[in-house]
Chain A
Amino acid sequence: MSRNGSIALIFHTFFVIFMVAPILVVCLVAFTPEGYLSLPTNGFSLRWFRTIADYPEFINAFWVSLWIGAVSSVVALLFAVPAALAIARHQFRGREALSALFLSPLMIPHVVLGIAFLRFFTQAGLSGTFIALLIAHVVVVFPFALRLTLAAATGMDRSVEMAAVSLGASNWTLFRRVTLPLILPGVVSGWALAFIQSFDEVTMTVFLAAPGIETLPVRMFLYIQDNIDPLVTSVSASVIVITMLALILLDRFYGLERVLAGHSDRGR
């Protein structure tokens, strides 16, 4: 393959600046020693990171996000793994339609999902509860859990399973000792991607959040609507750093390209 010319490299430089600038500026402003929004020109300060501790609503929202993300991804997998095995291994009528249904949360705008869930959970008497938020997140992350599990189940070598069956393994033993270990990389990365999706979700969650059960992005969003100050930049910078760390771990253990391939046509 031929190399890029100088025009291409100049274009590339500007493109990278465009992509990185907004993220970089958040991280820089977070270190300002001043009491207002400014780039740190007179040295770096951690005062705004220390200030986060004085705002329990951000700390609380962080824990809510962590719990919702972790639990909803596990619950989604409990539903998605059997469904993925069925879709990967059986040819049956309605298979395409069923897959479309299971992947539909990618296509439905999250604002529509938020409204539908708000109406549904209000009628069900569950509005403003943790369980409502959890169920909503299970639905939204389900396609990601399904997709990566499906990819693993499709690429799996079935001969090991047949050997196990011929040696008299029961269905449960077969799943626990043979199938699950073989699809585990897909399941784990499905969990990771589902967790990140849940952790980032704001549009749908903003409809369901209530004081005390707000996720971190929702808390940040509502805060920004009132005013933008260095505090919210230090919170955002923390979120960016945490995401970057997760990203690097994911890249090391599974390969970012494979994860993002399952990500490529989602609807936020």
Chain B
Amino acid sequence: MSTSASVTAAQESAVPAPGKQERSGARAPWPLLLPALILFVAVVIVPLAMTVLLSFHNWGQYTGIEFVITLKNWHEIWSDPYFYEMFARTFRIAGLATLIAALFGAPEAYILNRMRAPWKGFFLLIILGPLLISVVARTLGWALLFGGNSGLVNKALMAVGVIDGPIPFMFTEAGVVIALAHVMMPFMVLSVWAALQRVDPQIENAALSLGAGQMTIMRRIILPQIMPGVLSGGIIVFALSASAFATPSIIGGRRLKVAATLAYDEFLNTLNWPLGAAVAVLLLVALVLIIVGSNAIIERRYSEVFR
């Protein structure tokens, strides 16, 4: 959970160094900071600590939450293959959604960047705009497009002749992956776009004048320079996909559980709060480890790009 591990241009400007004329005393301006700090300790750190504690409490069908310290929930998650399967599904879906977003989002950002004035802004609005539209509305759109065997996607695919019979998208992993890739796509485009803004177009021209072909320029000039953007976008998309709730819930239905929807079920249907808390804490820890780990690798690998 560190911002210093950030890599995109926007993130780098998140905590800018103070200007030269500022005092650089070591004393923090507490009167300005204290209200926000108190707010965060009271309603972020304390609730999170309570959730971790909750995951160690016991729960009984008739007794409810018992305030004892036990490893029961953690043992259950560890030993029951159901949870292993569920977490594997969660990260598989997130990984595939990230892959699709990278494979299509990165080229699109490049194409957008080469467009001329009115079109550039127009298509940027079209592609990034959905970011601000409710995720429920966007997922509903996919539910309508998939809609059983006679959904529009199947009709279109069969009309083109790609498939012979309808393939099920609703309540399948494939459907969840496609819908998630759509929901997360703007983050990838935005991230690659930010990386492209730092690319000097003269380098491309220089390569061209030295006789490099289009493929060579793409592979040797463009790709290495936008790779940090693709990777940091990938981290964002992966983290958000692995903890997504509304999309897997609507497209995946009640049977195809991922971590977030399982935790929701434990909390609001089964009422086994301690087990739900353990699932949530595990998801948080896994994601933090993955994000911090891959950020460290990317920063080391591409340190020269960020200098």
- The interface stretch among B18-26, B72-80, B161-169 is B18-26
Contacts of B245 in A (CB 8 A): 110-111, 202-203, 206
Q: Which residue of B lies closest to A111 (CB)?
A: B260
- Contact A116-B48, Cβ < 8 Å, known A102-B36, A243-B132: yes
Contact assessment for A26 and B10 in the assembled complex, using a CB-CB cutoff below 8 Å: no
Give chain B residues whose Cβ lies under 8 Å from the Cβ of A15.
104, 108, 127
Closest 6 pairs between A and B when the two form their complex, measured CB to CB: A22-B141, A109-B243, A120-B47, A116-B47, A86-B32, A92-B28
**Hey, which chain B residues are within 8 Å of A12, CB to CB?**
108, 111-112, 123
- Residues of the A chain whose Cβ atoms lie less than 8 Å from the Cβ of B133: 23, 200, 239-240, 243-244
CA–CA, A105 and B140, complex, Å? 26
User: What are 23 pairs between A and B in contact, CB < 8 Å?
Assistant: A1-B201, A20-B126, A21-B145, A22-B138, A78-B35, A90-B25, A91-B25, A100-B1, A108-B48, A109-B287, A112-B51, A116-B44, A119-B277, A151-B13, A202-B245, A203-B260, A220-B137, A224-B250, A239-B133, A261-B10, A264-B194, A265-B187, A268-B244
Select from chain B the residue with minimum beta-carbon distance to A104: B1
Hey, which chain A residues are within 8 Å of B140, CB to CB? 22, 26, 220, 224, 228, 232-233, 236
Q: Type the 1/0 row for B51-94, where 1 means its CB is closer than 8 Å to any CB of A.
A: 10010000000000000000000000000000000000000000
Per the 8 Å Cβ criterion, residues 13-48 of B in contact with A are 13-19, 21-29, 31-33, 35-37, 39-40, 43-44, 46-48
Query: Is A23 in contact with B137, judged by CB distance below 8 angstroms?
Result: yes
- Minimum distance in angstroms from A138 CB to a CB of chain B: 7
Given contact pairs A109-B287, A268-B244, A115 touches B276 in the complex (Cβ within 8 A): yes
Q: How far is the CA of A89 from the CA of B130 in the complex (A)?
A: 35
Would you call B124 and A220 a contact (CB within 8 A)?
no
Min Cβ gap A201→B in Å is 9
Which one of B8, B29, B47, B268 lies within 8 Å of A86 (CB-CB)? B29
Report the bound CA distance from A55 to B8 in whole Å: 44
A94 to B104, CA, bound (A): 40
Chain B neighbourhood of A251, CB < 8 A: 125
| Alpha-carbon separation in the docked complex, A123 to B53 (Å) | 13
| Contact of B296 with A by CB under 8 A | no
A88: CB under 8 A from chain B? yes
- Within B114-137, the residues touching A (CB, 8 Å) are 114-116, 123-137
The answer to whether A26 touches B144 (Cβ under 8 A) is yes
Chain A residues with CB under 8 Å of B131's CB are 260, 263
**8 Å CB contact of B129 from A107, A207, A247:** A247
Interface of B is mostly: helix
Please determine whether B144 and A22 come into contact, CB atoms closer than 8 angstroms.
yes
CA distance A77 to B220 in the complex (A): 45
Chain A residues with CB below 8 A from B96, complex form? none
Contact partners of B243 in chain A: CB under 8 A? 109-112, 203, 267-268
> CA A98 – CA B18 in complex, angstroms?
15
A101 to B114, CA, bound (A): 38
Q: Do B124 and A257 touch across chains, with their CB atoms under 8 A apart?
A: yes
Q: B283 and A19: CB pair below 8 A?
A: no
Closest chain A CB from B1 CB (angstroms): 5
Residue B256 lies at the interface, judged by CB distance under 8 Å to chain A: no
**Does B302 touch A at the CB level, under 8 Å?**
no
Tell me how far the C-beta of A12 lies from the nearest C-beta in chain B, rounded to whole angstroms. 5
Chain A residues contacting B142 (CB-CB under 8 Å) are 22
B102 in contact (CB, < 8 A):
no
B36 contacts A79, CB within 8 Å?
A: yes
Quote the shortest CB–CB distance from B48 to chain A (angstroms): 5
What distance in Å separates the Cβ of A58 from its nearest Cβ neighbour in chain B? 13
Cα(A199)–Cα(B133), bound, Å: 9
Check A25 for interface membership: any CB of B closer than 8 A.
yes
